Amino acid sequence: MSNTKGKTGRNRVSSLHAFFITLSLSTSVTAPVAFANSQAPLIPGVVKAGTAIEFIKEGFEGTEGPITAPDGSLLFTETRANRITRIAPDNTISTFLENTNGANGLAFNKQGELIAVQVLDTQVGVIYPDDRRKVLVKDFEGQKFQRPNDLVLAKNGGVFFTDSGVNPGQGVTEASRTAVYYISPEGKTRRVADGIERPNGIQLSRDEKTLYVANTGGEHVLAFDVQKDGSLGKRRNFAKLSAGLQKNDTGVLSSGADGLAIDEKGRLYVTSNNGIEVFDKKGKALGVIPIPHKPQNIAFAGKDKKTLYVVGRGAAYKIAVETPGFTGRVK
């Protein structure tokens, strides 16, 4: 990974910011549509009772990997369409990047490079800007990754990412190799956790001492203590999802646990079969925000990161929240 610092890094980020401003001025506005009776319940400090769950648009071709962009807009991946889409604060929708190699989870580093886990030719690497594209890791111990799913970037430049393995029920004979991996700032990749039924979304606590993993194949969000070298302590159950396990479209038991996000108070937000479940930093359940389309992933964006964007099942929504998302990283 690049270790560019100082003025060069700031200039690149500034250039990226300018690009987003130009893009927002060159596209037309799509008026939002509101679903009837689509409102959030009261969750103190999180969302006020009756807050609108604003529908933006549906019909996207896959909805994953949302993150905030330098100008406060939202980027998310349309994995099946092989592109990244942008939603501006005024709900303008535009294409940010084509030919993404099936990008799923995303993160911007300090140099303004966009890192993605990619599911067509499975790998993790920089996909933007175009002249800085590079592969960070393509395989582990001689085996290709099966389905890299999500990632989170630590402040030291290290990358944690999940591989959710092969999808059951698709006639695949290969054994599933689910795992969590860590790419060190020096570029060395290690498997830091395995044996998870289906690791999906991934997130770090504010102080980066805890790594959270959404286990779609289980009833709990998992937590691990993070060591200085990126290795992880023993797996533990952090929070129990109210959704429980339900049969998904392929008949497999699933909690729907997927995207993770944290706010400035350290609360953890989790998408599940029931909607967006919110927990305090000790794992206590605070409430659930139901979403018309079952959510897949979430991210704070907008002015001061006080808008929670939700994507799932080809649709996108946004919700005004009381506490902003954590400003220490883009995701």
Mapped onto helix, strand or coil, the DSSP state of residue 118 is strand
pLDDT at 247: 73
Reply yes or no on whether the pLDDT at 330 is more than 50.
yes
pLDDT at 250: 67
| C-alpha to C-alpha distance for 261 and 271, rounded to whole angstroms | 9
Q: Tokens standing for 93?
A: 């929708």
List pLDDT tens digits, range 82-99: 999 999 999 999 999 999
Task: Give the mean model confidence (pLDDT) for residues 270-282.
Answer: 96
Structural contact between residues 160 and 211, judged by C-beta atoms closer than 8 angstroms: yes
pLDDT at 259: 97
256 pLDDT band, cuts 50/70/90, is: confident
Average pLDDT, the chain: 89
Higher pLDDT pick, 212 / 248: 212
State how beta strands 143-144 and 139-140 pair.
Answer: antiparallel
Higher pLDDT pick, 8 / 75: 75
What secondary structure, in 3-state letters, does 184-245 show?
Answer: CCCCCEEEEEECCCCEEEEEECCCCCEEEEEECCCCEEEEEEECCCCCECCCEEEEECCCCC
Reply yes or no on whether the pLDDT at 13 is more than 80.
no
List pLDDT tens digits, range 160-199: 999 999 876 666 678 899 999 999 999 999 999 999 999 9
List pLDDT tens digits, range 205-221: 999 999 999 999 999 99
Cα R_g (the chain), whole angstroms: 18
323 contact partners, CB below 8 Å, separation of at least 6: 45, 46, 263, 264, 265, 267, 306
pLDDT at 18: 46
| C-alpha to C-alpha distance for 92 and 78, rounded to whole angstroms | 16
Q: Tokens standing for 77?
A: 């991946």
| C-alpha to C-alpha distance for 266 and 282, rounded to whole angstroms | 9
Residue ranges of domains in the chain, CATH in brackets = 6-320 (2.120.10.30)
- What's the pTM value of the predicted model, to 2 decimals? 0.88
| C-alpha to C-alpha distance for 279 and 259, rounded to whole angstroms | 14
For tokens 């989170």, name the residue: 152
Query: Which of 37-41, 101-105, 230-234, 312-316 has the lowest average pLDDT?
Result: 37-41
List pLDDT tens digits, range 20-71: 444 433 333 333 344 444 899 999 999 999 999 999 999 999 899 999 998 9
| C-alpha to C-alpha distance for 177 and 144, rounded to whole angstroms | 10
| C-alpha to C-alpha distance for 117 and 163, rounded to whole angstroms | 9
pLDDT at 170: 60
| DSSP secondary structure, 99-112, as one string | --SSEEEEEE-TTS
List pLDDT tens digits, range 110-159: 999 999 999 999 999 999 999 999 999 999 999 999 999 999 999 999 99
Task: Give the mean model confidence (pLDDT) for residues 291-310.
Answer: 95
| C-alpha to C-alpha distance for 173 and 159, rounded to whole angstroms | 30
